[in-house]
Amino acid sequence: MRANAATFLLSVGRPDAVALRDERAAWTYADLAKGVSHVVGHLREAGGVEGDRVILLADNSFFWVVSYLGIMRAGLICVPLSPTMSPDETRAILETTVPRFGFVETRHCPRHAQILASMHVVTDQSLYDSGPVADLETSAHTDDLASLMFTSGSTGTPCGVMVSHKNIIANTSSIIECLRLTERDSVMAVLPFHYCFGTSLLHTHLRVGGTTVIESRFMYPELVLNRLAESGCTGFAGVPSHFQILLRNSNLAARTFPSLRYVQQAGGFLPPAIVDELRAALPATQVFIMYGQTEATARLSSLPPEYLDDKRGSIGKGIPGVRLRVLDNTGADVRPGVVGEITAEGDNIARGYWNAPQESAAHFRDGRLYTGDLATVDDDGFIYIIGREKDFLKCRGERISCQRIEAQLLEYPDLREVAVVGMPDDVLGEAVKAFIVPRDPRNEGIAERLREFCRQRMPGHLIPREIVTVPELPKSNSGKVLKRELLAVQGR
């Protein structure tokens, strides 16, 4: 069956409707179609054939969007990479993907000049140097690869998730149904498009003929909120750190956003205390708690707004077309309250990792994705994540979820962010070490006040042995906390 993801995404939007907007300009669906045609033209003129890999190095922009869509439209495989990657990191990925072409934003070319020398490179300045292609027949089967989305595997080595055209079509349709998106919707994109959550925002709003509003200044949260209000966006999406910063480092609660219909959160566990603050700050806005993985194209589950009180702390159930189960070590479904691993089945599940058979075998088995997330279910089948399999510490012989401790610490209102790791202890095995970011950096004595707060609410062995105050937590380009860097600091 032939069905190209790019064709699917661009088949609905009206030519004169605004598809994409940044701080300076707006582009219609007709503009996207023209740009895509030029991308296909470059690839055909240079001898590109189906299955060739093409790297994409650019910030969120019109150039990123048309390059991504054009590469897939031509039947080639897009490899989106973060522009902030070091040349060595980029080189390692290029050695395994062996790309023939690169679409690179001009300002990023000097940093990667040595690596790019071996391939045919198209920049934002040379995009229209090739003539448009009038004949844009579908050039892919549904099971053909559309992109390689790189993520860190269990070893910490980047793994390219093999995302097919079918995966994109299935997951996009599921999310649209879940969020009830229409052409009247516009979403603010603070997430990078090279990250699967950011890509899915683009996918869903293109498919319904809506608008994606690029906002790249999240380090200035008040500017982001100004833009959110001025642009009339109906949706906003972020990972936990985005919401924690907006709630505890901006005046979000004092503002109103009449057009904001919903916010969606994924990319990590958002503690119930933060969810409560978010709902209080945006009383007229629906809050969707979602869960996903790159290996699942983007999203796997959703907790609809009407369940936020009754199913507090849950990630909900599988979105349409996705079957989620929590299995024990024998492969059987766990009973309510018993911990197991979340597995997923559906047309959105990727084929595995590129050139990584051992990693693929560990996570993709029997037609299922084994997520590495440990969870329980309740009597109604709602899922509650306990933590990542590797994000536990062993204290007094008991495995303790760092995620759960972080959630309790964030109930202390003077914290903006927190990350918990284990530290060696002769008696406990591992003790709790907390890295905290205060709302007010001048807040002296916050560590001892936090410790007293913990003494009133937590068992003694879970009270942080060490509390380290830091100005910021190390994060990936997508906003996820990099605990391996915190562990490296303490010599582990």
The rounded average pLDDT for each run of 10 residues, N- to C-terminus, in the chain (492 residues) is: 89 98 97 96 94 97 98 96 87 94 96 89 93 68 92 66 98 98 98 96 98 95 96 96 93 96 94 95 97 96 97 97 96 96 97 94 94 95 89 78 90 93 82 92 90 91 91 87 78 46
Q: Give the start-to-end residue ranges of the domains of the chain.
A: 5-141, 174-388, 392-489
Closest C-alpha among 375, 387, 181 to residue 288: 181
CA angle 297, 313, 204 (to 5 degrees): 30
End-to-end CA, the chain: 50
Residue-level pLDDT at 155:
43
Residue-level pLDDT at 492:
44
**Would you state the structure tokens that stand for residue 234, as one six-digit string?**
């109906």
| Distance from C-alpha of 191 to C-alpha of 195, rounded to nearest angstrom | 7
- Which residue's structure tokens are 């940044």? 22
Residue-level pLDDT at 337:
94
Question: Which fold does the domain 392-489 belong to in CATH?
Answer: GMP Synthetase; Chain A, domain 3 (3.30.300)
Residue-level pLDDT at 137:
64
Query: What DSSP line would sit under 223-248, residue for residue?
Result: HHHHHHHHHT-SEEEE-HHHHHHHHH
Report the SS3 class of residue 197: helix
Pairing state between β 120-123 and 158-164: unpaired
φ and ψ at 215, to 5 degrees?
A: -135, 110
Question: Which fold does the domain 5-141 belong to in CATH?
Answer: Rossmann fold (3.40.50)
Residue-level pLDDT at 35:
96
Contact 20, 215 (CB under 8 A): no
Q: How is residue 99 annotated by DSSP? A: -
- Which residue's structure tokens are 């904001």? 260
φ and ψ at 273, to 5 degrees?
A: -60, -35
The one-letter amino acid at 292: G
All residues at 6 or more sequence positions from 207 whose CB lies less than 8 Å from its CB, including other chains: 8, 9, 12, 172, 173, 176
Contact 54, 76 (CB under 8 A): yes
Q: What distances in angstroms separate CA 62 from CA 80, 105, 152, 475, one per listed residue? A: 14, 11, 27, 25
Contact 328, 342 (CB under 8 A): no
Structural class in CATH, domain 174-388: alpha beta
Residue-level pLDDT at 134:
62
Q: How remote is the C-alpha of 326 from its chain's centroid? A: 22
Instruction: List the beta strands (DSSP E) in 50-198.
Output: 53-57, 77-81, 101-104, 120-123, 145-152, 158-164, 186-189
| Distance from C-alpha of 104 to C-alpha of 86, rounded to nearest angstrom | 15
Pairing state between β 211-214 and 18-21: parallel
φ and ψ at 264, to 5 degrees?
A: -125, 135
Label residues 233-258 b or e (16+ Cβ within 10 Å = b).
bbbbbbbbbbbbbbbbebebeeeebe
Domains 5-141 and 174-388 agree in fold: yes
Measured N-to-C along each axis, helices 272-281 and 240-248 cross at an angle, to the nearest 10 degrees, of 60
